[in-house]
Amino acid sequence: MKKRNRKKTVTILAGLLIMIVVLTGMVGCGSLTSDEASDEMTAMETIDPPQENENESSTGIGLDDFYANIRSGGPPMDGIPPIEKPVYLSMEEADTVLADLDVVFVVESSEGIYLYPQSILVWHEIVNETFDGEKRSITYCPLTGSTIGYRGLLSAGETTYGTSGKLLNSNLVMYDRATTSYIPQILGMAVIGPLKGERLEEFPVIWTRWHLAKAYYEEGQVLSTDTGFIRDYQRDPYGSYRSGDDYYSNDRLLFPVMNTDERFSPKEVVLANRIGETPFAVVKEALKTKSLMEFSVEEQPLAAIYDEFLDTGRVFHRRANDQNLDFRLEDNGIVDEQTESVWNERGIATSGPLEGTRLDMINAYDVMWFGWFAFHPQTEVYE
């Protein structure tokens, strides 16, 4: 596993940035004092305005409409600084500073297991890393509760991502450092700039708790607070995932959104993504109760399976060996009707005629309901 030397100094520029943070209350995807910022529509400083041609995303909403609804979150470009040279602790070292209920985001790489505490990412939102020889970014928006992994390989070349200081539907707007195109995190598609209409390629990031992660993984590397910046990593400016009655659990939104829906609480967590051009969302709490949910999107049979070991869910194509599968729950696991093979929570057949077969996984990720629906009002919902 790779190790990096710890930085021992903080630059004068970082010190000035901290002064700005203290004076302006700049945190997370935007600012806690957001009433004024939410009413302000600022033009993008480095990108020409949209032209007459209007691309349309899979949401049914034109990209130019998305562009027109981008707002300032308060900070300047990279005012919420991504972590560019992450330093890691061993899991034993991290256990002395993390509490059992702390949220961590997990990347399972061929190089090893990497864990990113939410308490650090709430202050930085992006970690730019290299896994398996590729530039990849772990992105997190606290306002929409969404953590998504994005690869750095684009049509313009390999790159990393930064924070624009802007928000769309209360969600982080990133920019790529090759072309400075603006990319809302949940949309995953550039809405303005040379990459307009290009969708980023994702990779899985698991949302779980520290006590579950340390019990499940034998070893791993955990992001350290040695980031090169001074932040109070023991304080979450929005509240805490260990308790209720704060931003993460109440119904309050800090910034306006384009579309709303009252079927669920705004902060209800769904597992969401797209099949082709069709967005879908699985209510996570419902999946936790049922353990298994079957449904179809764009005539493709899918299965959502709950993983009790990491308190997460995964969505799979319900097809193997050129046949569609129908699953049922048994005491020994999930069994398919067609071959009586037994499957586990990772979509792997552990016994039976299909033993060793893996179902193709769809990268459905955790996101607050209001954030997903704001971008995808035509989403299909399963509960």
Tell me the per-residue pLDDT of 24-43, one tens digit each, with 9 for 90 and over: 344 446 433 333 333 333 32
d(CA 71, CA 168): 6
Contact status, residue 121 vs residue 128, Cβ threshold 8 Å: no
SS3 375: helix
Which residue would you say has higher pLDDT here, 335 or 243? 335
Give me the amino acid identity at 360: D
Q: Give this prediction's pTM.
A: 0.86
Q: Tokens 């993504």 appear where? A: 273
- pLDDT at position 22 over 80: no
d(CA 223, CA 213): 14
Q: 223, 250, 277: which is the final residue of a domain? A: 223
Q: Are residues 57 and 196 in the same domain?
A: yes
Indicate the range of 2-11, 198-207, 240-249 predicted with least confidence.
2-11
Q: Are residues 140 and 41 in the same domain?
A: yes
d(CA 356, CA 28): 42
Question: Around Cβ 318, how many Cβ atoms within 10 Å?
Answer: 22
H helices of the chain, where?
Answer: 12-24, 35-38, 63-68, 91-94, 118-121, 210-216, 284-290, 369-375
Q: Give domain status of residue 315, yes or no.
A: yes
Q: Give domain status of residue 240, yes or no.
A: no
Q: Give domain status of residue 242, yes or no.
A: no
Which residue would you say has higher pLDDT here, 56 or 272? 272
Q: Identify the domain containing residue 363 by its residue range.
A: 269-382
Average of pLDDT values for 333-360? 97
Q: Are residues 67 and 132 in the same domain?
A: yes
Q: 190, 205, 223: which is the final residue of a domain? A: 223
Question: Around Cβ 272, how many Cβ atoms within 10 Å?
Answer: 26
Q: Give domain status of residue 121, yes or no.
A: yes
Average of pLDDT values for 144-166? 97
Q: Are residues 187 and 311 in the same domain?
A: no
Report the largest interatomic distance among the alpha carbons of the chain, rounded to a whole angstrom.
65
Q: Tokens 């209510």 appear where? A: 283
User: Which pLDDT score is estimated for 132?
Assistant: 87
Q: Are residues 303 and 172 in the same domain?
A: no
328: confidence class by pLDDT, cuts 50, 70, 90:
very high
Q: Quick one: tokens of 154?
A: 């684009």
Return the CATH number at 325.
2.102.10.10
Percent of the chain with pLDDT over 90: 81
H helices of 12-154, where?
Answer: 12-24, 35-38, 63-68, 91-94, 118-121
Count of domains in the chain? 2
Q: Are residues 195 and 287 in the same domain?
A: no
- pLDDT at position 314 over 90: yes
Q: Are residues 203 and 313 in the same domain?
A: no
Contact status, residue 131 vs residue 109, Cβ threshold 8 Å: yes
Q: Are residues 212 and 279 in the same domain?
A: no
d(CA 162, CA 320): 39
d(CA 257, CA 181): 21
User: Which pLDDT score is estimated for 312?
Assistant: 98
Q: Are residues 320 and 182 in the same domain?
A: no
Among left, alpha and beta (phi > 0; psi -120 to 50; other), residue 280 is beta
Q: Are residues 324 and 194 in the same domain?
A: no
Q: Give domain status of residue 248, yes or no.
A: no
Q: Give domain status of residue 245, yes or no.
A: no
Per residue in 217-241, pLDDT (tens digit) is: 999 999 999 999 999 999 999 999 8
The 3 state secondary structure assigned to 222-289 is EECCCCCCCCCCCCCCCCCCCCCCCCCCCCCCCCCCCCCCCCCCCCCEEEEEEECCEEEEEEHHHHHH
Per residue in 255-313, pLDDT (tens digit) is: 999 999 999 999 999 999 999 989 999 999 999 999 999 999 999 999 999 999 999 99
Q: Are residues 28 and 139 in the same domain?
A: yes
Q: Give domain status of residue 334, yes or no.
A: yes
Give me the amino acid identity at 110: S
Q: Are residues 192 and 279 in the same domain?
A: no
What Rg, from alpha-carbon coordinates, does the chain have?
Answer: 21
Q: What is the DSSP letter of 303?
A: E
Q: Give domain status of residue 61, yes or no.
A: yes
Q: 223, 258, 286: which is the final residue of a domain? A: 223
Q: Quick one: tokens of 187?
A: 């949309």
d(CA 89, CA 97): 10
